[in-house]
Amino acid sequence: DSGVTQTPKHLITATGQRVTLRCSPRSGDLSVYWYQQSLDQGLQFLIQYYNGEERAKGNILERFSAQQFPDLHSELNLSSLELGDSALYFCASAPCSGGVETQYFGPGTRLLVL
């Protein structure tokens, strides 16, 4: 158990819909990273937040957005969903801003868009 929790574990929705994925970092960690793992694109970094502020951006679509709240949990919002958005979405947390090498991964949310 990494100490990072993600909800829900599974999510099934339809094209055009909007969903919110939630991530709670390990106690004391200030950074949250979001990743997408799909058959087509592999494992991709989406976005990073540090202490409530966006710190780095990867291959995140404009239809996707994220935020980190004062209690440090983070949410990833996916809108206007397409079939290709079906994937496993991971979050990871780390103590520091540049701590990508110290990140711990959550178990992921599996999203299926029908």
Partner 1 sequence: AQSVTQLGSHVSVSEGALVLLRCNYSSSVPPYLFWYVQYPNQGLQLLLKYTSAATLVKGINGFEAEFKKSETSFHLTKPSAHMSDAAEYFCAVVRSSASKIIFGSGTRLSIRP
Stretch that binds partner 1, among 13-21, 63-71, 72-80, 105-113 (CB under 8 A): 105-113
Q: Which of residues 34-93 bind partner 1 (CB under 8 A)?
A: 42-45, 48, 55-56, 58, 90, 92
Q: How far apart are CA 7 and CA 74, in angstroms?
A: 11
- DSSP assignment string, 59-111: S--TTEEEEE-TTS-EEEEE-S--GGG-EEEEEEEESSTT-GGG-EE---EEE
Phi, psi of 89 (to 5 degrees): -110, 120
Closer CB to partner 1, residue 2 or residue 17? Answer: 2
CA atoms within 13 A on the CB side of 104: 17
Establish if 106 lies at the interface with partner 1 (CB under 8 A). yes
Among positions 66, 101, 111, 113, the unique one binding partner 1 when judged by CB under 8 A = 101
Among positions 2, 7, 51, 80, the unique one binding partner 1 when judged by CB under 8 A = 2
Cβ atoms of 67 and 74 within 8 Å: the answer is yes
Which residue do the tokens 């909800």 mark?
7
> Closest distance between partner 1 and the C-beta of residue 64, in Å?
16
Interacting residues with partner 1 (CB under 8 A): 2, 4, 33, 42-45, 48, 55-56, 58, 90, 92, 97-98, 100-101, 103, 105-108
